[in-house]
Structure 1
Amino acid sequence: MELKWLEDFVAVAELGHFARSATNRRITQSALSRRIQSLESWVGAELLDRSSHPIQLTDIGEAFIKTAREIIYDAYEAQANARNDVRLSEESLTIACLHTLSLTFIPTMVGNLQKRIGSFPTSISADMRSFEDYIESLRNGSSDLFVCYDHPAVPTPLDLNGFVRFDLASTQILPYQKLGRDAPDLDAAKGPDIPLLAYSPTTYMYRIVEHCIEDMPARKRLKTVYRASLAESILTATQEGLGLSWLPRNVAPGTAEENGLMMVSDAVSTNVRITAFMVAEPISKIQERLFQQLSLNAEDLVHQG
């Protein structure tokens, strides 16, 4: 089994399309297909349902993808540690974050921070990891800051003694569809099926969306037609008109209309905090400067809604 087989499998699972995945992986579609087949042969079962459009995971694929991501992460983590390449320099800042936040929120935050304390090298780690893994990266020094969502539907599972929390901002998770389409009636329990663009069950966003639709009258009418781990994949599928999705308001720059989207109803939305964690006792100069700025006014570092 080769690491690139796992990376190919995850790419297809997230994009639901062999051709686009091959382009992203910079290989031919036939080569990508052969690698996936080799992985399935090694596992001993089909991982992808190729008869569906977009391509979906089989039940075994759903169970296997979490392990695949963990293997990929562990392999690159071990490589970075072996090369002593985790940090860019003693004055660099390493920020671990949820992937969705790396799209627009983190670049804005870093830009504002550099205006205050001067320029510094920055490394962003937005791998698919558990909350525990991210906190451990702070503890072992491979990250200086961890930025994530915070919502009552997803309680923090850890004792966070030794760490300090800063509330940076808040945003909304809202239902969107392609601009110009007739909006489904989410208050009606009966009616035609509503195609849903869903997050993978292992993601943070999946639990947030479940909270949003828990008591929604039209919940039983939602039929999943597309599933992905990454918000930008859900965003693109929404822009293509494949169905209804729940997205963070700040998932892309500009207004919903500028992104070809229409917000369907704010009655089935929720607010989430964007929170940062770091060690309570900074040990490097960059950590001390960061700690000072966050302590002064964390919410002033990011001007996003």
Structure 2
Amino acid sequence: MELKLLEDFLCLNDTRNFSRAAEVRNITQSTLSKRIRTLEHWVGATLVDRSSYPIELTPEGAAMVPQARELVSTFQGMRAGIRAFATPARNSIRIGALHTLRVTFLPQLRRHAEAELGPLMVENNGSSAAYAQTLRQFRNGETDVLLTYVHPSVANGLDSSGYDTLHMGHDRLVPVSAPDRDGSALHRLDTGGVVRFLSYGQSSFFAQALAPLLAERPMALNVAATNAMSLGLQSLAKVGCGVAWVPHSLAADDLASGELVPAAGPDWALDLEIRLFRHRRSCRPVTERFWAAAAGMAEAEAGRDAGLRALHHAG
């Protein structure tokens, strides 16, 4: 049994959607489906209930998730530890990134860097890695740079004495819901009633960022589902399961098409900063080159933001 089958299964559990999971895993939907069938044949049980949308796991599949995460984490940790002793290839850059940013922001950062530096061998941390694990891998030197969200409510321990940082952009965590027949939010936060809440759980980045907001504005929240991945909660929100806070960069297309609508006013959103970190010491030449390319991208983005603000004030 190959490790990639477990990684496919965990990604499918997180997204609850075959097409989205295939996109994240960078394979075709038919390949993903075949791999899940292969895994089911190997364990001797049906793991996915394909008759529901979003898909649900069978009891056997749900029981397998924590064991699969532990196995994948163990093997990835072993691989990363061994690679730390080896000399990486000259053009190989090891990037740690939060799951959402790996989908929304990292591709454009890579395109910009390769336009200046030529082809890069980019190694990403596993798609199932939790926020704490992603931070730990970076601090331990298992990744060269870290692409992450930053919010005042979430401590990351990356102080300025040991790390350099670049401001790469902004995002917003916005509450969204599927629309009702009139196009209004099916689930809203400001009705005063019980709200069906799609939760990030307790330990993910977004869970920590949301905690103060939810504490300041007590509501009757009925947790309808829990998933540490924003892609999974977005899929659940689209089929009417409740309210989810989703990064605007991820939900923009669904908001534009009307598949999702705001579940509250803008004062319920959280501003997020996108930052790139690197270790101040022991920077490899490829890391230096990648960092310079990223700095150029950040500078260009800052210039565009300044131009838009000037146009806004002039208007």
Same fold judged by TM-score > 0.5?
A: yes
197-206 or 265-274, larger mean C-alpha shift: 197-206
Alpha-carbon distance in structure 2 between the residues aligned to 1:261 and 1:9: 26
- 8 Å CA contact retained: 2:188, 2:195: no
CA separation of 1:17 and 1:133: change in aligned 2, threshold 3 A? closer
SS of the residue corresponding to residue 152 of structure 2 reads: coil
Partners of 1:243 and 1:236 lie apart in 2 by 10
What is the CA-CA distance between 1:261 and the residue it aligns to?
A: 1.3
Match of 1:211 in 2: 212
In the TM superposition, what is the alpha-carbon distance from 1:77 to its structure 2 partner? 3.7
Do residues 264 (structure 1) and 260 (structure 2) align? no
Deviation at 1:258, TM superposition (A): 2.5
Quick one: structure 1 residues 10 and 301, their matched pair in 2 at CA, closer, same or farther if it must change by over 3 Å?
same
- Inter-partner Cα distance in structure 2 for 1:252 and 1:87: 39
Secondary structure in 2 matching 1:256: helix
Identical-pair percentage: 20
1:259 Cα shift? 6.3
Residues 170, 36 of structure 1: alpha-carbon distance in 2 compared, 3 angstrom cutoff: farther
* Within-5 A mapping of 1:1-305: 10=10, 13-14=13-14, 24=32, 26-27=34-35, 32=40, 35=43, 68-79=68-79, 89-115=89-115, 117-127=116-126, 128-129=128-129, 133-138=133-138, 141-157=141-157, 161-180=161-180, 181-183=183-185, 184-190=187-193, 193-216=194-217, 219-220=219-220, 222-252=221-251, 254=253, 256-258=255-257, 260-265=259-264, 266-281=266-281, 283-295=283-295, 298=298, 300=300
**Offset, 1:149:** 1.0
Distance 1:70-1:111 versus aligned 2 partners, 3 A rule: same
Task: Say if 1:91 and 1:286, in contact at 8 Å, map to a contact too.
Answer: yes
| Inter-CA distance 159–57: structure 2 relative to 1 (3 Å threshold) | farther
TM-score with structure 2 setting the length: 0.70
Give the letter aligned to residue 278 of structure 2. Answer: M
1:138 CA drift (Å): 4.0
Structure with greater helix share of residues: 2
- Contact 2:173/2:246, CA 8 A, preserved across alignment: yes
User: TM-score, normalization: structure 1?
Assistant: 0.72
Q: In structure 1, list runs of 5 or more residues that go unmatched.
A: 40-52
1:15 Cα offset (Å) = 5.0
Mapped to 2, the partners of 1:31 and 1:284 lie a distance apart of 39
Letter of the 1:226 partner, please give it. A
